[in-house]
Amino acid sequence: MNCFEARQDFPAFWRCELPADRRAVLNAHLGECAKCDRAFRVFAMTAPVLHSASAALSRAAGPREFTFEHRARAAAPPVNSSYGAQRRWLAMCASALIFVAASSGAYLAASAPTQSLSDALTNSQDQSVQRLFGSELPDSSDDLAG
Amino acid sequence: MVSRPDDELIADALSGQSAAFSELAMRHRPRVERLCQRFFSDPEIARDLAQECFIRAFAGLSTYRKELPFGGWLRAIVTNLCYDELRRRRRRPEELVGDFTAPEVQWMHLVSEATPEQIVAEAEQRREAHALAHRLLETLKPEDRTVVIMKDSEGMNVREIAQAMGWSAAKVKIRAFRARQAMRRQAERLQIGGHRLKP
Query: Could you tell me which chain B residue has the CA closest to the CA of A48?
Result: B130
Query: Could you tell me which chain A residue has the CA closest to the CA of B188?
Result: A42
pLDDT tens, position by position, B45-88: 888 899 889 888 888 888 888 888 888 889 999 999 999 998 88
Q: What amino acid occupies position A75?
A: A
**What distance in Å separates residue B60's CA from the closest CA in chain A?**
12
Q: What amino acid occupies position A127?
A: Q
Is 90 exceeded by the pLDDT of residue B147? yes
pLDDT tens, position by position, A73-128: 443 444 444 445 566 778 888 888 888 888 888 888 877 655 555 565 566 566 65
Contact check, Cβ <8 Å, A56/B153? no
Whole-angstrom Cα distance, residue A98 to residue A95?
Answer: 5
The pTM score is 0.67
pLDDT tens, position by position, A44-75: 888 888 887 654 455 444 444 445 544 434 43
**What distance in Å separates residue B129's CA from the closest CA in chain A?**
6
Say whether residue A50 is in contact with chain B using an 8 A CB cutoff.
yes
Contact check, Cβ <8 Å, A14/B123? yes
Say whether residue A32 is in contact with chain B using an 8 A CB cutoff.
no
SS (H, E, C) chain B: CCCCCHHHHHHHHHCCCHHHHHHHHHHHHHHHHHHHHHHCCCHHHHHHHHHHHHHHHHHCHHHCCCCCCHHHHHHHHHHHHHHHHHHHHCCCCCCCCCEECHHHHHHHHHHHHCCHHHHHHHHCCCHHHHHHHHHHHHCCCHHHHHHHHHHHHCCCCHHHHHHHHCCCHHHHHHHHHHHHHHHHHHHHHHHHCCCEECC
Contacts of B144 in chain A (CB under 8 A): none
Say whether residue A10 is in contact with chain B using an 8 A CB cutoff.
no
Among B21, B23, B18, B48, residue whose Cα is nearest residue B33: B48
Say whether residue B171 is in contact with chain A using an 8 A CB cutoff.
no
**What distance in Å separates residue B41's CA from the closest CA in chain A?**
8
- Helix orientation angle between B70-89 and B18-39, rounded to the nearest 10 degrees: 50
Contact check, Cβ <8 Å, A46/B137? yes
ipTM, 2 dp:
0.80
Across-strand partners of B100?
A: B197
Say whether residue B1 is in contact with chain A using an 8 A CB cutoff.
no
Contact check, Cβ <8 Å, A41/B191? yes
Say whether residue A116 is in contact with chain B using an 8 A CB cutoff.
no
Continuous H helices in chain A: 3-8, 10-14, 20-32, 34-50, 54-61, 70-73, 81-111, 117-133, 140-145
Contact check, Cβ <8 Å, B85/A51? no
Let me know: does A30 contact B109? Beta carbons within 8 Å: no
Whole-angstrom Cα distance, residue A67 to residue A90?
Answer: 31
